[in-house]
Amino acid sequence: MPKIDIIKHGWSHTVINKPYGISSFGKEAGGAFDQLVLEGKLNPEDIPKFRFVTNLGRKQTGGVIGTAFQTFAFKHHSAARRRGMFYEKIDDCQFSFRAQYVGLFALPDTVDINNYFESIRSRYFKINTITMQGFIDSDVTMVEQEGSVKLIKTRPAETSFTILEGKRPSTDLIDKYPKLFKSKIIYPIIMRPVRRNFDNQIMSHFNDNFGIPFLNDINYKADKGHELTFGRGNFHLEPSIFKSDQIALHCAHIHIGQRKLKENFMFPIYNKEDRELWTGFLQEDGYFIDEIQYNLVNYAKRFQRKADYPFPIFKALGITKIHK
């Protein structure tokens, strides 16, 4: 079982970097909860009170926040959330957070990306094909707990995004996984929940509005008869496509605010086995290449008091660069 990287453990919150293969939802043996207990960061009797308030599924990677404050966690997961910069009074502590996610998607090299996005533009999906920045405003489907009953509901949600310059996969990747990489251009995208931050918001907004899955994801609508445009098209792992069912979606930056204390965490893909899917977009230490990192940091600067920083600006900005 892969190991989580415990970045910070404090009285108000815990920050971890999650590898592929572990979910932050459940409490399975060897999972994130279990590992926190084994590391002495969480008492077994406190597990019912502890919640991860930013969740990532087993196939995704990146930063996750956890808290032992049950009222905060419950309200965060409920329909009472009204802002992505979520505030909740906890023992005279004002707690807030924002997250940025980096994903990869592929288009056939015969498809012009500007024409493609012009063709899928809708009332819910807006994009400037010059700056490659856009906005999604559409409902997401989620499961809510009301007492002992789980209900499926839809909630309005908004996500902003920035698409960066695409790259052709390396010859090694094409030779090794031709079904996934041959004749494709791979594009990085940075997605940021606005106002609200529902668990499945990023996945839902991307699949529903882009018409394509993240790199190595399946056509999750196939069972409903709605095929995505350039998808994997099946629900079963095929080693001929890729060595695992890891999805190219990573929570790369989290901003946390507590009254006067502000923290910024940049999360690398620290497990070397998880980096192959991201080849061409990572530095040797697992952090993203400068173009992606610059966009993440430039957005994070909005939450700092000083206006001008050189790049790279991790130390000046107060961003914690996680170790490998």
Q: How many CA atoms lie within 13 A of 94 on its CB side?
A: 6
**25-41 confidence digits (pLDDT tens):** 666 777 787 888 888 77
Residue listed under structure tokens 């809708």: 122
CA torsion angle 136 139 145 149 (round to 10): -160
Q: What is the phi/psi pair of residue 27, to 5°?
A: -120, 45
For residue 115, give both structure tokens. 């024409």
Does an H or E element contain 314, and which? helix 314-317
Q: pLDDT tens-digit profile of 78-108?
A: 433 443 333 333 333 456 678 899 999 999 9
Beta strands in 195-303 (DSSP E): 249-258, 261-266
| 150, pLDDT greater than 50 | yes
Taking 3-state DSSP, the helix, strand and coil percentages for the chain, each rounded to the nearest 5, stand at 25, 30, 45
Instruction: Name 38's Cβ contacts closer than 8 Å, sequence gap at least 6.
Output: none
Q: ∠ CA(231), CA(202), CA(293), 5° rounding?
A: 100
Q: Write down the pLDDT at residue 200.
A: 77
Strand 249-258 to 61-67 pairing: parallel
Looking at every residue in the chain, the average pLDDT score rounds to 75
- Which is nearest to 72 in space by CA: 256, 294, 298? 256
Q: How many CB atoms lie within 10 A of CB 119?
A: 11
Q: What is the mean pLDDT of residues 285-307?
A: 76
Return contacts of 211-214, CB within 8 angstroms, 24+ apart.
211/120, 212/105, 212/106, 212/107, 213/105, 214/103, 214/104, 214/105, 214/247, 214/248, 214/249
Contacts 24+ apart (CB under 8 A), 36-41: 36/4, 36/6, 36/66, 39/6, 41/6, 41/9, 41/14
Query: How many other C-beta atoms lie within 10 A of the C-beta of residue 66?
Result: 23
Element (H, E) at 202: helix 201-210
Region at 21 (left for phi over 0; alpha for psi -120 to 50; beta for the rest): left
State how far the Cα of 263 lies from the Cα of 317, in Å rounded to an integer.
9
Task: Output DSSP code: residue 288.
Answer: B
Phi, psi of 232 (to 5 degrees): -80, -35
What is the pLDDT, as a whole number, of residue 95? 60
Nearest-angstrom CA–CA distance, 2 and 282: 20
- Asked if residues 15 and 64 have their Cβ atoms less than 8 Å apart, the reply is yes
In the numeric block, which tokens belong to residue 220? 């999750």
The one-character DSSP state at 206 is H
* 192 vs 177: CA distance, rounded Å: 30
Q: Is the pTM of this model over 0.85?
A: no
Q: Please provide the CATH number assigned to the domain covering 5-321.
A: 3.30.2350.10
Among the listed residues 189, 185, 197, the one whose alpha carbon sits nearest the alpha carbon of residue 255 = 197
Where does residue 191 rank: exposed (0-12), middle (13-18), buried (19+ CB within 10 A)?
Answer: buried
> Locate tokens 């050189």: which residue?
310
Of the chain, the percentage scoring pLDDT greater than 90 comes to 28
Q: What is the pLDDT of residue 45?
A: 72
Least confident range from 76-80, 178-182, 204-208: namely: 76-80
